[in-house]
Chain A
Amino acid sequence: MVKAKHDGAVLEKSQTGIKGLDEITKGGLPKGRPTLICGSAGCGKTLFAMEFLMRGAMNYGEPGVFMTFEETPDDLAKNFISLGFDLHGMISRGLIATDHVYLERSEVEETGEYDLEGLFIRLGSAIDSIKAKRVVLDTIEALFSGLSNAAIIRAELRRLFHWLKDRGVTAIVTGESGDKLLTRYGLEEYVADCVIFLDFRIEEQISTRRLRIVKYRGSSHGADEYPFLIDESGLSILPITSLGLDYPVSLERVSTGIPKLDAMLDGKGFYRGSTILVSGTAGNGKTSMSATFADAACRRGERCLYFAFEESPSQIIRNMESIGLDLSRWVKKGLLKFHSARPSLYGLEMHLVTFHKVIDVFGPQVFVVDPISNLSVAGKISEVKSILTRLIDHLKMKKITTFLTELTHFGGSLEHTSEEISSLIDTWLLLRDIELNGERNRGLYILKSRGMAHSNQIQEFLLTNQGIGLIDIYTGSGEVLTGSARVAQEAKEKASELAARHEVEHRLRAQERKRKAVEEKIAALRAEFDAESEELHLIAEEEQKRQAALAEDRLKMAHLRKGKPSAPRTKHLKKKRERRIR
C-alpha cells in the first residue's frame, strides 16, 4: 500500500475489500484514522461499514467492533445475513464484537455536567476483547438526538476521534447528510482525514447509487462520482476512469458463425477481443446474427454471456430454433449464459455495474448485448456513450469479443444514432432493408472493419431453417435487385444465356457438316481423277502393246519381203506416242 518509495512517511492504508473501492482510494482507507461515510437515508452507509468490517475480519485478519446507535443487534444480524455474512458466527469466533448503544431522550434526565466516558469505556472494552483493528460507529449522530447538551457532545466527539487515533484503529463513522453541511451535525469538522459521500439519486424514476471521495488527506484519489451496486454479495464500485487505451490486442480471428460473412471479412472473421456492432431496423435479423455468433462461440468451446434487453432467454431459445440453432444445449452445458433485464429496470450505471459483475463472475470470451440502443431508455445518449466506452474498455482489457446490436429507426439515417459510438466500434455491420417491387428484403454490408481487408459488397441476408445465408445480390445492368426480383432476373439471364449457347452450338454443327461435305467432294473428285488416270494408263499400255505388235508385224513383213526396216523412223514414232500419253 505504500506507494511512493522516496517518501517514508506515506500514509498507510487499510484495504476495505470492497470491490473497486481500493482502486479508487489507491489502497483503502487511511489506516489508524477515522473515515466519515455520509449520505442520505438508505444510501448504503451501514452496508458499507458492515462490509468494511466483515472483509477486514475475514480477508485481512483485522477483527472489528460494530457499535450501533440505531439498530438492535438482531436487526444488525439480519442485515449482515443479507450480505451473506454470519454475524453470530463471527462473534462467536471472536472476529467481530457488537455493541448496541441505546439512547432515548425521554428516558434520560440531565441533571448537570457530564461526559461520554461511558461510551469510551464500552468501546475500549469491546476493542480489547477481540483485539480489534477496525471500528464502526453507526451512526454517532444519534447522540445529538439522544442528549440535549450539544456543547458537551461536540467536545466529547472531538475527544473521541483523538482517542480513536491514539488507539490506532481504522474507524468508519457514518452520518446522515445535511442541508448545507455534509452531515446534519457537521461531523466532517471532526473527521478530517477521509470523507466519502454516498448518493442515492432518482432521475426519471430510475435510481442510481453513486460514491464520491470528498476528501482524502495525504493521498491522491479518484475524484469522480462512481456508481455502485448493492446486491447479495455486498457493494461493487466501478473504478471506471482508471481504464486507458493501453489494452493488449490479439491477432487471433474468430468466426462469425456465417461462412459467407467470414469470407467477406478477409476469409477469417472478427478479431478476438474486437468490438462488433450490428445496426439495423426492426426485424432485420440482429438477434439472429447475435445468436449465430453466440452459437459459433459455444461450438468452439468458449463461454458466452448474452445480455438480452428485449426478450426473455426462453423466448430467444425458442425463436432461434426456427433458424436451426439449438441454444438450449449450450445453456445446459454452462457455456452460454443469458441475462435478461428490462433496460428501464435501473439506471445506466447500474447496468454497467451489473455488466461488470456478471462478466467477472462468469468469465466469458464472448459477450453479446442485444440491443444496446435500448439503454437509451435509461439515460441520455451522451451517458449511454460514456457507459459504453467504459464497458468496451473493460471488455478489451479482458480480451472479450463484444457483439453489440443496435436498433435504428425507420426513416432516420441509419448511421445517425450510431455516430455517437461508432468510434468505439472495430467492425460495424449494417443490416438494411431493400424495398423493391413490393418486397422488403434484407441486405447486409460491412460499413467498416478495422485492420482487415473486407468486402465492400452488399449481400442479401436470408433467414432459413438452416441458419443465416448470405447471397450475392444482383447488381448487373446497373440496378440492384433482391428477393424474387433477383431470382426472376437471374432466371431471365440464365434463359438468354442458354439460348445464346444453343445458337453457337447450332452454328458450329452446321459448319462441321459443311466441312464434311467439302471433304467428301474432294474425295470424290480425287477418285474420279484416279479412275481417269488409271484408264489412261491402261490405254497407254494397250497402245504400247499394239505398237510393239505392229513393229513386230512390220519386222515380220520385212522379213517376209526380205528387206531391212529403217531404224530411225521407228524411233521417231515411238517418241511421239509417249508425248501424247503424257
Chain B
Amino acid sequence: MKMKKGETSAEEFEKAAARRDRTRYVFRLYVTGMTPKSTRTIANVRKLCEKHLEGCYELDVIDIYQQPKLAKGEQIIATPTLIKKLPLPLRKLIGDMSDTERFLVGIDLKPKNS
C-alpha cells in the first residue's frame, strides 16, 4: 500500500514521519478469541499501521484464551490491549482502536492535546 500524504496535514506529523523511517515499531495485540470485537480491532490496527508506519512495524496478535499466562505477565486487564514494545517507552492502548486520534497519541506519533 502506498501512503497518501494528503490525508495527514500536521507539520509535526511530517517530522515524526521522517523519524519513523529510522525507527522500528514492535506491537503486540492481545485479543480474546475471534469475537467481532477482536476481528474489528485487528483490522483497525492493521489499517492504521499500514497507513502510518508502512514497512517498519511488526505486529503479533495473541489470543489470551490460548495463552492465559501471558495475560498476567503483560498486565492485561482490558481487552483488546495493544502494547507498543518498541520504540521505548512502552505504551499500552486499550479498546478497538476506532479512535484514530487517540491511537496516534497513544503510540507517540502525535503529542497529547494537539
For residues 65 through 114 of chain B, which have their beta carbon under 8 Å from a beta carbon of chain A? 65, 68-69, 71-72, 75-82, 91-99, 102-103, 105-106
User: From A126, which residue of chain B is reached at the shortest CB distance?
Assistant: B72
Question: In the assembled complex, which residues on chain A have CB atoms less than 8 Å from the CB atom of B71?
Answer: 118, 121-122, 125
Main SS at interface, chain B: mixed
Interface residues of A in 2-37 (CB under 8 A from B): none
- Interface membership of B37, Cβ < 8 A: yes
For residue A163, CB closer than 8 A to chain B, the reply is no
The smallest beta-carbon distance between A17 and chain B, in angstroms, is 28
Determine if A166 is an interface residue (Cβ-Cβ < 8 Å).
Answer: no
Q: Output the nearest chain B residue to A156 by Cβ-Cβ distance.
A: B78
Contact A109 B106 (CB under 8 A): yes
Tell me if B30 is interfacial: C-beta within 8 Å of chain A. yes
Q: Judging by beta carbons under 8 Å apart, are B68 and A111 in contact?
A: no
Set B69, B77, B79: member contacting A101, Cβ < 8 A: B77
> What is the distance, in angstroms, from B43's C-beta to the closest C-beta of chain A?
12
* Interface contact A117-B93, CB-CB below 8 Å: no
Given contacts A114-B80, A118-B77, contact A108 B68 (CB under 8 A): no
| Complex contact B69–A125 (CB within 8 A) | yes
Q: How many residues of B contact A (CB 8 A)?
A: 32
Segment 92-114 of A: residues with Cβ below 8 Å from B: 99, 101-103, 107-114
- A138 CA to B73 CA in the complex, in Å? 19
CB of B64 within 8 Å of the partner chain: yes
Minimum Cβ distance to chain B for residue A69 (Å)? 9
Task: Tell me if A111 and B81 are in contact (CB < 8 A).
Answer: no
Partner of B78, one of A102, A118, A124, A125: A118
Cα distance A103–B82 when bound, in Å?
Answer: 15
A115 to B64 CA separation, bound complex (whole angstroms) = 14
Contact indicator A122/B99 (Cβ below 8 Å) = no
Q: B79: which of A109, A118, A143 is its contact (CB, 8 Å)?
A: A118
B107 to chain A, nearest CB (A): 8
- Number of A-B contacts defined by CB within 8 Å: 97
B77–A125 CB distance below 8 A:
no
Chain A interface residue bracket vs B: 20 to 34
Q: Nearest residue in B to A107 (C-beta to C-beta)? A: B92
Q: Which one, B32, B69, B82, B105, contacts A118 given CB within 8 A? A: B32
A116 located at the interface, meaning its Cβ lies under 8 Å from any Cβ of chain B in the complex: yes
Within 8 Å of chain B (Cβ to Cβ): is A77?
A: no
In whole angstroms, how far apart are the Cα atoms of A99 and B73 in the complex?
10
Q: In the assembled complex, which residues on chain B have CB atoms less than 8 Å from the CB atom of A109?
A: 91-94, 102-103, 105-106
Selected from B65, B76, B94, the residue in CB contact (under 8 A) with A110 is B94
Chain B residue contacts of A103, Cβ below 8 A = 75, 77
Chain A residue at minimal CB-CB distance from B103: A111
Question: Please, could you name 29 A-B residue pairs with CB atoms under 8 Å apart, sorted by A?
Answer: A102-B75, A109-B91, A109-B94, A109-B102, A109-B106, A110-B93, A110-B95, A110-B99, A111-B93, A112-B96, A112-B98, A112-B102, A113-B37, A113-B95, A114-B78, A114-B80, A114-B94, A114-B95, A116-B78, A117-B79, A118-B30, A118-B32, A118-B77, A118-B79, A121-B68, A121-B71, A122-B76, A125-B69, A125-B71
